[in-house]
């Protein structure tokens, strides 16, 4: 059984996140995040939000809808999604991109299509030097709605409450993208508050160094600067 509306409202009040103009006297840093909800065949949702740690507001959101005649031309669809995301990054200059991760229970064909779309999303971020964080659907729901099995309607209500929106964000794909962005901001605020960010970065650097050391021992430099693993 899912949470009641009053329970959702209490969860929204708990985080105290709503949309409003920043105070003129505030010296807090405003952070922008681009949330993306990749889709294999349906609309790919996107949403730009910004926060100073106290208030949060949506700047733009929507969903890229693929026409019925163009669904068979996967290359053109991927190109247009890439162009859309690049345009958003160049216009709003977000500090980070939050992406919903691939759902593991998908069938092979759908998973491959979704992986292609996700690859285009990550490419746009890499080309513009934007860091990326991925979150599972259940993780996003638990973070934003306080319930890992929240439905589409509940997520839209929570996104509207936390961003102080007058209307429900439509379509639901756009609401999902805004939710992913909210998930990033809450996780980032927790890391900043408790000093976890430096520890996580140090752990990732240590892992990279270990992997590089292992890779150098397992590979041999051959003619043409190509790397060929030892057998």
| Domain chopping of the chain, boundaries | 11-19+26-194, 198-231
Residue tagged active-site, from 50, 173, 176, 188? 173
Active-site residue, from 37, 50, 176, 188 = 37
Residue 231 CA to residue 108 CA, distance in Å, equals 31
Q: How far apart are CA 82 and CA 109, in angstroms?
A: 21
Task: Return all residues near 28 (Cβ < 8 A) that are at least 6 apart.
Answer: 22, 52, 53, 54
| pLDDT per residue as tens digits for the range 57-108 | 999 999 998 766 666 678 888 999 999 999 999 999 999 999 998 766 567 8
Model pTM?
Answer: 0.73
The answer to whether 151 is a known catalytic residue is no
C-alpha angle 78-136-139 in degrees, rounded to nearest 5: 145
- In percent, the amount of the chain with pLDDT more than 90 equals 50
Check if 52 is active-site: no
Cα angle vertex 125, ends 45, 134, to 5°?
Answer: 60
Q: CB of 211 within 8 A of CB of 205?
A: no
Position 20 pLDDT exceeds 60: no
Q: Known catalytic residue: 218?
A: no
Average the pLDDT over 109-113 and give the result: 83
Which homologous superfamily does the CATH classification assign to the domain defined by 11-19+26-194?
Answer: Ribonuclease H-like superfamily/Ribonuclease H (3.30.420.10)
- Using CA atoms, how far apart are residues 64 and 61, in angstroms rounded to an integer? 10
pLDDT at 201: 56
Buried b (16+ CB within 10 A) or exposed e, 75-96: eebbebbbebbeebbeeeebeb
Instruction: Reply yes or no: is the peptide bond before residue 171 cis, omega within 30 of 0.
Output: yes
> For residues 155 and 115, which has the higher predicted lDDT (pLDDT)?
155
Contact criterion met (CB below 8 Å) for 169 and 160: yes
- Residue 230 predicted with pLDDT over 60: no
Q: What's residue 17's pLDDT?
A: 34
CA 223 to CA 15: how far, in whole Å?
58
Please identify which of the residues 23, 50, 100, 201 carries the catalytic annotation: 100
C-alpha span between 191 and 185 (Å, rounded): 10
Q: What is the pLDDT of residue 122?
A: 96
Burial 168-195 (b: 16+ CB within 10 A, else e): ebebbbbbbbbbbbbbbbbbbbeeeeee
* CA gap 207, 184 in Å, rounded: 22
């Amino acid at each position: 059984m899912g949470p009641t509306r009053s329970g959702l409202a209490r969860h929204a009040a708990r985080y105290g996140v709503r949309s409003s103009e920043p105070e003129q006297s505030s010296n807090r840093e405003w952070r922008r995040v681009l949330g993306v909800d990749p889709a294999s065949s349906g609309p790919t949702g996107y949403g730009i939000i910004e926060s100073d740690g106290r208030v949060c507001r949506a700047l733009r959101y929507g969903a890229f809808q693929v026409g019925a005649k163009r669904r068979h031309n996967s290359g053109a669809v991927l190109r247009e999604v890439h162009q859309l995301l690049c345009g958003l990054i160049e216009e709003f200059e977000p500090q980070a991109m939050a992406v919903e991760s691939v759902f593991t229970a998908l069938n092979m064909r759908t998973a491959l299509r979704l992986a292609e779309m996700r690859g285009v999303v990550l490419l746009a971020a890499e080309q513009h030097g934007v860091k990326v964080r991925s979150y599972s659907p259940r993780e996003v729901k638990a973070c934003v709605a306080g319930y890992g099995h929240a439905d589409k309607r509940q997520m839209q209500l929570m996104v509207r409450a936390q961003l102080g929106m007058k209307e429900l964000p439509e379509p639901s794909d756009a609401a999902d993208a805004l939710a992913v962005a909210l998930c990033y901001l809450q996780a980032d605020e927790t890391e900043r508050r408790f000093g976890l960010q430096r520890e996580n970065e140090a752990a990732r650097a240590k892992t990279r160094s270990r992997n590089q050391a292992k890779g150098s021992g397992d590979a041999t430099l051959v003619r043409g600067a190509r790397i060929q693993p030892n057998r």
